[in-house]
Amino acid sequence: MNDPQALYEAINTETSEVLVGYDDVMRKITIAILANRHILLEGVPGVAKTTAVRLFARVSDLEYQRVQMTPDLSPSDVTGTRVSEQTSHESDLRRGPIFTDVLLINDINQASPKTQAALLESMREQTVTIGRQSFEIPYPFMLIATQNPLEDEELHTLPQRQRDCFLFKLNIPIPERSVERQILDRFTDTNRDNSGTKDIEPILDAETIEAARKAVRQVHVEDKLYEYLLNLIEATRSHQATKVGASPRASLALLHAAQARAAIVGRDYVIPEDLRALAEDTLNHRIVLNMDTDLSKQTPRDIIEDIIDNVNLPEADLSTELPGE
């Protein structure tokens, strides 16, 4: 299954047996792993953020670890440490849960800034430094973090440099009534595993994902679309509502995400709609609003929507989606 479209359809078909109303989230998670990036999920407790990640790891047959962040969790609890042996005067390496394929960091904004910072190296370079030695993390590596949007005095807002390492920030809403009814109907059986993960069979592996990643990297991007992408990014920097705009890392993130989106719908070239459809989730966590805008209750998503609406599309026949998308 080297075809990214077939890979996505297999993931979606399998996970939809358990999850209801999560098609877009699973699409974005698939895009992220094909783009070799990480994801931040924001939502109140109980909206199946953790379940979605567990299902993705199981269907992908990837090693999965989960870390529940708390204010007193130390960096070594995540990365690992060296333990000295008194008899031999040597130290043994005890690897932390970060040495895995899919790492779920639950409630990342409950961790201390020091523990949050310990994740940066792994997200940027796919390595971990323990003591004076650097270790590679298994490939493929994907970090998916969740956070609670509710205000709490114990929460620590992620710094800009760390938010910039996430491809997407996805807001997971409370499901609509009709969707919640489907959830109730699906899990009426009290003997059924409520997470649903036992009902899922692995259908992928690391080699399949790597082959699909190579296909994504071959997706063609017209010069006009590079210019359109840069216009979107530059607009985040010059917009009257922003204090800090998107970085060059954001440009690369949006480019690679657009290539992955094109690939999972069966195209070998990017169109403007790929960029427009992903811009909000790719950029909303990377910009900082100025004080006046913040006080006006406008959100980063409002500003990104305004930018998408006002940046001119490139002149070409690329502006139209293919039938069936």
User: How do residues 251-268 score in pLDDT, each as one tens digit?
Assistant: 999 999 999 999 999 999
Question: What's the confidence (pLDDT) of residue 87?
Answer: 54
Q: Are residues 177 and 236 in the same domain?
A: no
pTM strictly above 0.85: yes
Question: Can you give the length of the chain in residues?
Answer: 325
For 227, the 3-state DSSP assignment is helix
Q: Are residues 54 and 175 in the same domain?
A: yes
Cα 102 to chain centroid distance, Å, stands at: 11
Question: What's the confidence (pLDDT) of residue 324?
Answer: 44
Q: Are residues 236 and 116 in the same domain?
A: no
In tens, the pLDDT along 49-92 reads: 998 999 999 998 899 999 999 999 999 999 998 776 655 555 67
Most confident of the following: 13-22, 46-55, 199-208, 269-278: 269-278
The torsion angles phi and psi of 102, rounded to 5 degrees, stand at -120, 115
The total number of structural domains that make up the chain = 2
CATH of the domain at 13: 3.40.50.300
Q: Are residues 114 and 32 in the same domain?
A: yes
Q: What is the band of 203 on the pLDDT scale with cuts at 50, 70, 90?
A: confident
**Residue reference for tokens 């070409």:** 316
For 144, the 3-state DSSP assignment is strand
Mean per-residue pLDDT over the chain, rounded: 88
Question: What's the confidence (pLDDT) of residue 68?
Answer: 95
Q: Are the C-beta atoms of 27 and 12 separated by less than 8 Å?
A: yes
Q: Are residues 115 and 256 in the same domain?
A: no
Q: Are residues 309 and 236 in the same domain?
A: yes
Whether residue 192 lies inside any domain: the answer is: no
Q: Are residues 227 and 126 in the same domain?
A: no
Q: What is the band of 131 on the pLDDT scale with cuts at 50, 70, 90?
A: confident
Q: Which residues constitute the domain of residue 124?
A: 4-186+201-211
Q: Is the pLDDT of residue 133 over 80?
A: yes
CATH of the domain at 256: 1.10.8.80
Q: Are residues 32 and 145 in the same domain?
A: yes
For 58, the 3-state DSSP assignment is helix
Closest CA to 242 of 296, 181, 291: 291
Task: Tally Cβ neighbours within 10 Å of residue 156.
Answer: 18
Whether residue 196 lies inside any domain: the answer is: no
Q: Are residues 12 and 158 in the same domain?
A: yes
